[in-house]
Amino acid sequence: MARGIKDKVVILGMGCSKFGERWDCDAEDLMVEAYSECIADAGIATAQIDAAWLATAKEELHSGKGGLPLSFALRLPNIPVTRVENFCASGSEALRGAAYAVASGACDIALALGVEKLKDTGYGGLPEASRGVLNMMWWANYSAPGAFAQLASAYRVKHGIDTDELKRAMAHVSVKSHENGALNEKAHLRNRITEERVINANMIAEPLGVFDCCGVSDGAACAIVTTPEIAKSLGKTDLVSIKAMQLSVSNGTESGFSDWDGSHFHTARIASRRAYEEAGVSDPRRQISLAEVHDCFSITELVTMEDLFLSEEGKAWRDVLDGFYDADGGLPCQIDGGLKCFGHPIGASGLRMIYEMYLQLHGRAGARQVKDPSLGLTHNLGGAPHQNVCSVAIVGHLLGPGY
């Protein structure tokens, strides 16, 4: 494996808009909101940014397919701006572009910003795609909940779990995230819920009820990255560095070949192994302090804990019910409320996850602050269980504890 970028790139500043049904905001407003916090946090001037990466996945909604929307919104001084999209992992992809630019020496300071304006469709859920192209001619007509619900059927049968027991574990995933989200003023959904309410909620895609699904929101998040040397020269101490950024992309094997049983994410296992190797993590369940995973649906989070080797295969549902991933558990997961409470503005989510890790590592997470975290893991997934892109990133204190 290549040497990787561990500790070559640090986060100079971050920002995150309030996520929610931002009826009064254009994508421009969301970008400016996140950026204003970020640039103030970084303590630099816009003119010091060498290049920028914009993540946004649904071009129908205000942003267009190139770098122009970000350059216009922030009046960037004619620097390179690249739009990236990689399904729901787009935000992580923007950060990867900016981090690699810094690590390579091509840029001193780079910006990654993710934004999505989803609430202009007139209905809940993601915008419907146009159906003129080949994939739409032969793929099943599916929705995101329907695609991810498939996991539950295979996981239940493979591990011989009672339907009601699995439903209860899934319910606890959501209850736990709402407990955390209630403490986060930037979260979209801030209400507490009960397992009973989750279990008895309206069915969306069997066995996922409405509370097994993440919200749909508008939002933006961004990061400014640089080298440790430049950060120090700018007077920054106590730096948060990138330990690993890995991406694994399906090639059709799961959906077209054999041996994948539908109960887990093939790519997540590959991306997490590579990330642990890049970061030098040998015992993730013990070494990772916090995880922000792609909880688009409760079952996604549940099986992902196994794919990240944080729970043993077939045991995540027990860990969930035991409270291992609760705020006061062994490895708090979705300490900010997750996609469940933030919703999932596609381009923004990956950066929103990093934002929470950044706050936690700096001890700036307020009421939901975890004691002395050392390594934070983010997992950002796009597509469907049978074909997806999966990003795993690890951040921590530059040259800090945890190894």
Partner 1 sequence: MIGITGFGAYVPRLRLTRQQIADGQPGGARGKTIAGERAICNWDEDAITLAVEAARDCLQERNCLTGITLASTTAPFADRQNAGIVAAALDLDEDLQSMDVGGAQRAGTTALITALRSGCEGGERLVVASEHRVTRAGAPHEVRFGDGAAALSIGATDVIAELRAAETRTVDFVDHFRAADAAQDYYWEERWIRDEGVMKIVPPVVEAALAQADMAAGDIDHVILPSPVPGVGARLAAQLEFQEAALAETFDKTIGDTGAAHPLLRLAAVLSRARAGEKILLAAFGQGTDVLILETTAAIGTRQPRLGVTGALAQRRPISDYAKYLSFAGLIDRELGMRAEGDNKTALTQLYRRRDLILGLVGGECEKCGTRQLPRSRYCVNPKCNALDTQKPFAFADVPARVLTWSADHLSFTPDPPSYYGLIAFEGGGRMFANFAEVDAGAVDVGSVMRMAFRVKEHDRKRNFRRYFWKAVPDGGSQGKEQ
What residues make contact with partner 1 under the rule CB under 8 A? 121-123, 125, 128-134, 137-143, 145-147, 149-154, 157, 202-208, 251-253, 255-258, 261-263, 384-386
Give the residue with the Cβ less far from partner 1, 68 or 136: 136
> Do the beta carbons of residue 181 and residue 341 sit within 8 Å?
yes
Half-sphere exposure of 275 (CA within 13 A, CB side): 31
The angle subtended at Cα 369 by Cα 271 and Cα 243, nearest 5°, is: 30
Q: Please give the span between the terminal C-alpha atoms of the chain, in angstroms, as a whole number.
A: 20
Q: Exactly one of 188, 266, 344, 386 is catalytic; which is it?
A: 344
Q: Exactly one of 16, 38, 88, 341 is catalytic; which is it?
A: 88
User: Does residue 78 come out as left (phi exceeding 0), alpha (psi in the -120 to 50 range) or beta?
Assistant: left
What is the rounded CA–CA span in Å between residue 264 and residue 283? 20
The 3-state DSSP class for residue 207 equals coil
Shortest CB 264 distance to partner 1, Å: 11
Give the residue with the Cβ less far from partner 1, 100 or 265: 265
> Do the beta carbons of residue 49 and residue 231 sit within 8 Å?
no
Give the residue with the Cβ less far from partner 1, 122 or 401: 122
Shortest CB 180 distance to partner 1, Å: 26
Give the residue with the Cβ less far from partner 1, 146 or 280: 146
Shortest CB 204 distance to partner 1, Å: 5
- For residue 234, the tally of other CB atoms under 10 A from its CB is 14
Shortest CB 62 distance to partner 1, Å: 19
178 part of the active site: no
Contacts of 155 (CB under 8 A, 6+ apart): 161, 166, 263, 264, 299, 302, 303
What is the rounded CA–CA span in Å between residue 295 and residue 114? 18
DSSP 229-250: HHHHHTT--S-EEEEEEEEEE-
377 has which bridge partners? 291, 394
What is the rounded CA–CA span in Å between residue 106 and residue 141? 43
Shortest CB 133 distance to partner 1, Å: 7
Give the residue with the Cβ less far from partner 1, 32 or 384: 384
Q: Which helix (H) or strand (E) holds 31?
A: helix 27-42
Among candidates 102, 107, 62, which has minimal Cα distance to 83? 62
Give the residue with the Cβ less far from partner 1, 35 or 211: 211
Give the residue with the Cβ less far from partner 1, 254 or 336: 254
What is the rounded CA–CA span in Å between residue 340 and residue 178? 7
SS3 of 314-352: the string is: CCHHHHHHHCCCCCCCCCCECCCCHHHHHCCCHHHHHHH
Shortest CB 299 distance to partner 1, Å: 10
Give the residue with the Cβ less far from partner 1, 213 or 221: 213
Shortest CB 142 distance to partner 1, Å: 6
88 part of the active site: yes
Shortest CB 33 distance to partner 1, Å: 28
The 3-state DSSP class for residue 204 equals strand
For the annotated catalytic residues, the residue numbers are 88, 344
